[in-house]
C-alpha cells in the first residue's frame, strides 16, 4: 500500500470518526476558546509564542482574580478562627451534638463553604490541560489545517487563513525553544516562585500554635508542622519535575501564573507581610 493510500485512509477515518459527547463539550468550552484566544494574541504579538502565552496567562488570572482573592481571604479566616474553634471543642467536648452545631455556626460566620479555598485550583485545572493540548498540537503533533478548522468563523473574517498564523509561530523566547522540553532555567525559576508563594502563605497564616491540643478521646494531637513542611517541599519538587518534563511553553505558563499569584498575595496582605518581616518572623 502506497503512502498516499495510507494518508487518504487516515483522513477518511478522521472524518468518519464520531467524537463522544464529553469530547465535544470539552472541545467547545475549553480547547477551542483557548486556541482562538491564543491565535488573537499571536496576531497582536507578531507570532511570538512566549509573549502570547504570558498575555494569555495574565488574562486568565485577571478573570479569576475575584474568586482568588476570596479564596485567600477564606484560608486566612480559617487560620484566625482556630483559637475560637479550640474554645468550642473544650467547652462542648462532652456534648458531640452541640459541638457539631457550634462548629458549623462558626464556619458559616467565616464564609460557610469549606471547599471555597479549592475553587481557584479547580478552575485552573481545565484551563491548564486545554493550554497543554493546544501547545502540543501547535508544536506539530497535529495537522495545522485540522487546528484551523477550530477557529471561529467570525474570527476568520478578520484574520483570513488561520493556518498561516499557526504555521508561522515564533517558538523561541529569550533563547528558549518553547516547543522543547528539559529547560533547566524555567524549571529552577518556577520552583523558586512556588517556594516563595508557599512561604508567603505560611507567613500570612501564621505558625502553628505550640500548645498541645487534645483529640476527643483525650490523647494529645500530634504536631503536624513538620508534615506541612515536607508537603511544601514535595510540592515544589513536583512542580519542578513537571516543568522540566513538559514543553517549555507549559513551563512558561506555570511560571507566569505563579509569579502573578505571588504579586497578588503580596498586594493583598502587604501590611501584614511587612509587619512580620519587621518583627523577624
pLDDT tens digits for range 148-158: 788 888 888 88
Structural domain boundaries enclosing 59:
18-279
Mark out the alpha helices in 64-205 (DSSP H runs): 65-80, 82-91, 96-110, 119-136, 144-148, 153-159, 162-167, 184-205
pLDDT over 90 (residue 203): no
Within a domain: 224: yes
Would you state the pLDDT for residue 240?
94
Within-domain flag for 7: no
Residue 11 placed within a domain: no
Q: Is residue 2 part of a domain?
A: no
> Does residue 32 belong to any structural domain of this protein?
yes
Q: How many domains does the chain have?
A: 1
Cα-only R_g, the chain: 24
Closest CA to 147 of 18, 53, 34, 49: 34
Query: What pLDDT is stored for residue 117 in this prediction?
Result: 55
State pLDDT tens for residues 245-275.
999 999 999 999 999 999 998 888 888 888 8
222 inside domain: yes
Total length of the chain:
281
Cell of 142: 497535529
Residue 13 forms part of a structural domain: no
Does 8 map to a domain? no
Whole-structure pTM over 0.85, yes or no? Answer: no
Q: Is the dihedral of CA 157, 151, 37, 247 positive or negative?
A: negative
Amino acid at each position: 500500500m502506497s503512502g498516499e493510500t495510507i494518508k487518504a485512509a487516515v483522513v477518511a477515518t478522521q472524518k468518519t470518526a464520531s467524537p463522544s459527547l464529553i469530547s465535544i463539550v470539552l472541545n467547545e468550552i475549553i480547547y477551542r476558546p483557548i486556541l482562538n484566544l491564543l491565535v488573537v494574541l499571536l496576531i497582536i504579538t507578531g507570532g511570538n509564542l512566549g509573549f502570547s502565552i504570558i498575555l494569555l496567562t495574565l488574562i486568565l488570572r485577571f478573570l479569576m482574580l475575584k474568586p482568588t482573592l476570596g479564596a485567600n481571604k477564606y484560608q486566612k479566616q480559617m487560620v484566625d478562627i482556630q483559637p475560637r474553634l479550640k474554645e468550642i471543642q473544650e467547652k462542648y467536648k462532652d456534648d458531640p451534638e452541640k459541638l457539631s452545631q457550634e462548629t458549623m455556626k462558626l464556619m458559616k460566620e467565616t464564609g460557610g463553604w469549606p471547599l471555597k479555598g479549592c475553587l481557584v485550583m479547580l478552575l485552573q485545572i481545565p484551563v491548564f490541560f486545554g493550554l497543554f493540548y493546544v501547545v502540543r498540537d501547535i508544536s506539530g503533533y497535529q495537522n495545522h489545517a485540522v487546528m484551523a478548522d477550530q477557529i471561529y468563523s467570525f474570527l476568520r473574517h478578520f484574520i483570513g487563513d488561520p493556518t498561516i498564523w499557526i504555521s508561522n509561530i515564533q517558538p523561541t523566547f529569550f533563547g528558549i525553544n518553547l516547543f522543547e522540553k528539559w529547560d533547566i532555567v524555567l524549571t529552577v525559576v518556577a520552583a523558586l516562585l512556588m517556594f516563595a508563594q508557599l512561604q508567603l502563605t505560611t507567613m500570612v497564616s501564621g505558625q502553628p500554635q505550640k500548645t498541645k491540643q487534645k483529640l476527643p478521646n483525650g490523647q494529645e494531637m500530634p504536631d503536624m508542622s513538620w508534615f506541612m513542611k515536607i508537603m511544601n517541599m514535595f510540592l515544589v519538587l513536583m512542580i519542578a519535575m513537571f516543568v522540566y518534563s513538559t514543553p517549555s511553553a507549559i513551563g512558561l505558563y506555570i511560571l507566569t501564573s505563579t509569579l502573578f499569584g505571588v504579586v497578588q498575595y503580596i498586594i493583598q496582605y502587604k501590611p501584614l507581610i511587612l509587619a512580620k518581616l519587621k518583627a523577624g518572623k
